[in-house]
Structure 1
Amino acid sequence: MNKHKIQEILHRPYLRYGLILLAGLFLGWLIFSGSPSGGDVTSPVGHHDHDHGEDSSVWTCSMHPQIRMEEPGDCPICGMDLIPLQTNGSGDISVDPDAIQLSVEAAALANVQTTIVSKQNPVKEVQLYGTIQVDERLSQSQTSHVSGRIERLYVSFTGESVRRGQPIATIYSPELLNAQQELIEAVKMKDLQPALLQAVREKMRLWKLTDEQIARIEQSGEVSPLINVTATTSGVVMAKKVNQGDYVNTGTVLFDVANLSQVWALFDAYESDLPFLKVGDRLEYTLQSLPGKTFSGKISFINPILDPSTRTAKVRVETANPRMELKPEMYANAFIRAPLKQYNNEIVVPKSAILWTGKRSIVYVKQPDTETPAFLLREIEVGPSLGDAYVVLSGLNEGDEIVTNGTFTIDASAQLAGKRSMMNDEVGRAVMGHEGHTMNGSTPATTAPATGYEGHNMQAAASGSEHAMLAVQGLCEMCKDRIEKAAKSVIGVNTASWNLNTKQLHLDFDPAKTSVDAVSKAIAKAGHDTDKYKADKATYDALPSCCKYRD
């Protein structure tokens, strides 16, 4: 029964055709794959090997970019298939092996721009914000000199202009009426009691009556309970304190009048900007209400006390206002350029060129004399900020061409290539070549070096070097980089690590090439005191403000 069914299935036409098709495909594969030469179908083996030799690729792991192999295979860490990293098809052998090389097209797509750095006399640009205020020295209160009732106000609203000597109010005063009657009686008795007459006149003067008014009362013999209060200054009424019909006492303020022929521009300066401002500096500012016009003046005062809530100090600029264009409470934006004479003839780079890693500041320098663009990472030490630029204290030379746009793109390429970048200071590389392969053709994973002081001691024992500790003064991470860099610059120093908390520098060095004394001299020369040597004053004064460790 089963045999009969099998024969019936085999006699079906679509099954026979399928078997014939499979047999034909298998026969063709045997013929062409076994052929030593395939004409146009495949390239000769020798030719293929030659091309591979000229166009050698570097293979890496997409998960572990520090792995770099000359041949394809598996990642020795995770076992993933290696991928080609870079093909050296340009033939440019002058490119540094640590450089990041981009094609002209790739650099154009990434909008990479470079600038040749030069030494300059840096100028700090400070932006300040403030308002126009009344000059307090030209502001006066108009008061009543007698007690009584306000019969009439000649100034009725805030903002009205007044002139000096202009009547501003009329006051009914019974006290004044009595004083005038005393004056008339004293005139009658001036021959008998001249001192009494002088006393009454002085009393009238204290009430701000002029000598002409007093003489008129003496001559006419007429008295009046009304007295005019006149303005003691010219200006604008800033505040109206009374109304008609109010009773006032001697000394009651009627109006506040300010002379606006000269005003103050008061700006808020943050404490970080105060070192770059000083009395006498010329400052230019603009107003939102008067676009296109620029006003200028000299700084006349800097408040020595900071506002505890805003952490700012008031900076005052006096400005003449003959046309009355400047009105109190107008918003003002100031711009000042302060030369940093202590950093003259230093290299200045744009802010966009610097990548920050917390402890390090790096730039990418274009390698000269290469057919295709190539860029090398360079660590620098930066000084004060100039707004859109920074002063560079060390790490660059005049004439270096640095990347000012597209820096992140180049650094990302460095990270993918397993080279030094802002995230990887020292990148371990797998050993390439036949020496790095094991017996079965695989490549062992690289072993991380020992870390900590135990690792230093192990390395020191293996190399025959000595370990020493040295007390070095400093305050911040910039100090740490400067101290370690100065120590490592001494020939014979293997490692140098400075602890910010303990102020101790741990050294591993070759005693046949250098000594602790030589390292101590090099660090003092860089501006940091040690327990053996002290930095000279000029070098110490040139340090950034955050590095000033002396009291």
Structure 2
Amino acid sequence: MKRAAVALVLGLTLLSCSGPQPETQEAAPPKQDTSVVEMGMEAQKHIGLTVAPATLAQVTEYLHVAGTVQPIDSRIGAVRPLARGRVQEVLAKMGDRVASGQPLALLDNIEAGELVTESQAAQAELQKLKIQQAASARQMERSKRLAEIGATSQKEFELIQAEQNAMLEAIKAQESLLAGLSSKLRRFGLTEADLQQSSITTIRSPFAGVVIQVQVAPGAVVDPGMELFSIGDLSEVWIQAEVYEKDLGRIRMGQSALISVDTYPDEKFSGRVTYISDTLDPKTRAAKVRCVVPNPDLRLKLEMFVAVDVPTTFSRKSLAVPTAAIQQIAGKNIVFIRESEQKFEVREVQVGRVVDEQTEIVAGLAEKELVVIQGAFHLKAVLMSKQLGED
């Protein structure tokens, strides 16, 4: 009996071992850490990855507007003839740089010629009066001697003396007339001797500058007051821009401005806001704003298009990083912080103002932490691939 019972137990045991076995589950792979991104040194070198410490900087917001170069009204001189005449030759054209006193045109001065004729006639009359006065003086001297010996009456002597005095006054009046005619000739830049040969006068530039307008041609008859040339002193120019109504409160008189032009891409010109219009254009809802900019070498040309950067009233010292360092994932702003040579921490940050390719960091970053400022987009791509791998 005992042997039969042992045999039964062994049989049941063997049956249980030979039956179907439960399936074993495979071990799940370890979950990847998506708060850290790794990149080898060769890959970093290939993409030009660069890091820099986060630093405090003066964050100043600028208003960016377009404008044009214009001459300053008070630095424009209108050249006009002083007398009626006919233009013989035009010596300057628009755009020419001229020196002070440089000839601009030659004018056949009709009025100056008439003045010379009058002057010559007055000179002849003066000579006649002097001859008559000399003869009168001799007659008076004879009459005086005769009156002293009683050969003539005292009354006759006094009449001759009165004629002599009248003659002297006439000479003074004629000399005054000649002085007036000479003065008029000098205003034309001429003397009587100059016009003995020709009545051509020279119209000259009043100061050094650039010819910005020419309104005369050879052969034209011009009158006093007609504007022949406009000369602009362009050593200082206006930059005229238009600022929209909503931005006017962000600028103020006297503040500095930076001017850039496509012609000189690596250079900035400094200026100052000197005018903000009190009226708006009803169509554009913008006000005219002018900046004065020094232009000693005349590199800024009239009507040239420029970009104007005016610092606004917003300016404060804040932690800032280059805007290229900020990446967005799922609507969140992140930066990459270097932990070691090949590891970078993914850090969410809160951003503020963006000014001149610099982004203000309000929270999430400490000063001097090493931030990836170039190559952040490639690290973002690696991070996204890790997250897709998990899914």
Which TM-score bucket, shorter chain as reference?
Answer: 0.5 to 0.7
User: Contact 2:262–2:306 at 8 Å: present in 1 too?
Assistant: yes
Once superposed, what is the RMSD of the aligned Cα atoms?
5.2
- Whether the 8 Å contact between 2:351 and 2:359 is mirrored in structure 1 is no
Amino acid across the alignment from 1:122: V
**TM-score using structure 2 length:** 0.57
Structure 1 match to 2:84: 147
Residue 130 of structure 2 is matched in structure 1 by: none
- Higher helix proportion (structure 1 or 2): 2
Q: Report the alpha carbon displacement of residue 196 of structure 1 after superposing the two structures with TM.
A: 4.2
Q: Is 1:393–2:362 an aligned residue pair?
A: yes
Match 1:304 to one of 253, 276, 293: 276
- Specify the code of the residue in structure 1 equivalent to 2:117: Q
- What secondary structure is seen at the aligned counterpart in 1 of 2:225? coil
**1:148-547 correspondence to structure 2 within 5 Å:** 148-150=85-87, 152-155=88-91, 157-187=93-123, 188=126, 189-192=170-173, 196-204=177-185, 208-210=187-189, 213-214=191-192, 216=193, 226-259=200-233, 262-264=235-237, 266=239, 268=241, 275=250, 279=254, 281=256, 283=258, 285=260, 288=263, 294=267, 296=269, 298-305=270-277, 309=284, 311=286, 313-321=289-297, 327-330=301-304, 342-344=315-317, 346-352=318-324, 353=326, 355=328, 362-364=332-334, 375=346, 377=348, 380=350, 382=352, 384-394=353-363, 396-398=365-367, 404-405=376-377
Q: Cα offset for 1:407? A: 5.4
Q: Distance in 2 between matches of 1:88 and 1:130?
A: 61
Larger radius of gyration: 2
Q: What are the ranges of 5 or more consecutive residues in structure 2 without an aligned counterpart?
A: 1-17, 127-169
* Partner residue, 1:523: none
Distance 1:105 1:36, change over 3 A: farther
Task: Tell me by how many angstroms 1:228 deviates.
Answer: 3.5
Name the counterpart of 1:36.
Answer: 20
> Offset at 1:411?
8.3
Letter in 2 for 1:36: P
SS of 1:122 mapped into structure 2: strand
* C-alpha distance 386-278 of structure 1, shift in aligned 2 (>3 A): farther
Measure the CA separation in 2 of the matches of 1:236 and 1:155. 14
Within 2, Cα distance between the matches of 1:393 and 1:301?
A: 32
Which one-letter code corresponds to 1:386 in the other structure? V
SS at match of 1:168: strand
CA apart distance, 1:318 = 0.8
- Whether the aligned pair in 2 keeps the contact of 1:238 and 1:257 (CA below 8 Å) is yes
Please list the CA deviations of residues 124-155 of structure 1 after superposition, one character each: whole Å capped at 9, or x if unmatched.
577676555555544322211112322x1141
The aligned amino acid for 1:347 is L
Shift of residue 304, structure 1, vs aligned partner: 1.0
- Residue 251 of structure 1 deviates from its aligned partner by 1.2
| Structure showing the higher strand proportion among its residues | 2
Q: State the distance in 1 between where 2:356 and 2:295 align.
A: 27
* Structure 1 residues without counterparts, runs of 5 or longer: 1-33, 38-43, 56-86, 419-551
Structure-2 separation of matches of 1:369 and 1:231: 71
What is the identity percentage for the equivalent residue pairs of Structure 1 and Structure 2? Answer: 16
The within-5 A match list for 1:68-87 is none
- In 1, Cα distance between the equivalents of 2:380 and 2:63? 26
Q: Please tell me whether the aligned partners of residues 70 and 238 of structure 2 are also in contact (alpha carbons under 8 angstroms).
A: yes
CA distance in 2, matches of 1:319, 1:200: 44
CA contact (8 A) 1:190 1:196 kept: no
Cα distance change on mapping 1:417 and 1:117 into 2, 3 Å:
farther
Distance 1:227 1:393, change over 3 A: same
Q: Which has the higher contact order (CA 8 A, sep 6+)?
A: 2
For the structure 1 residues 105 and 273, does the alpha-carbon distance in structure 2 shift closer, same or farther, using more than 3 Å as the test? farther
Q: If the length of structure 1 is used for normalisation, what is the TM-score?
A: 0.43
Q: Of the candidates 40, 50, 56, which is equivalent to residue 119 of structure 1?
A: 56
The question of whether the paired residues in 2 share the 8 Å contact of 1:135 and 1:264 is answered with yes
1:204-260: CA deviation from partner (whole Å, max 9, x where unpaired): 45xx324x615x48xx9x596544433323444333212222121111122223345
CA distance 1:330–1:274, shift in 2 (3 Å): farther
Work out the CA distance in 2 between the residues paired with 1:233 and 1:369.
67
1:363 is aligned with what amino acid? N
Letter of the 1:258 partner, please give it. G
Return closer, same or farther for 1:351/1:408 CA change in 2, 3 Å cut-off.
farther
Answer whether contact 1:267 1:314 (CA < 8 A) is retained: yes
Matched position secondary structure for 2:319: strand
The size of the alignment, in residue pairs, is: 312
Q: How far 1:302 moved relative to its partner?
A: 3.9
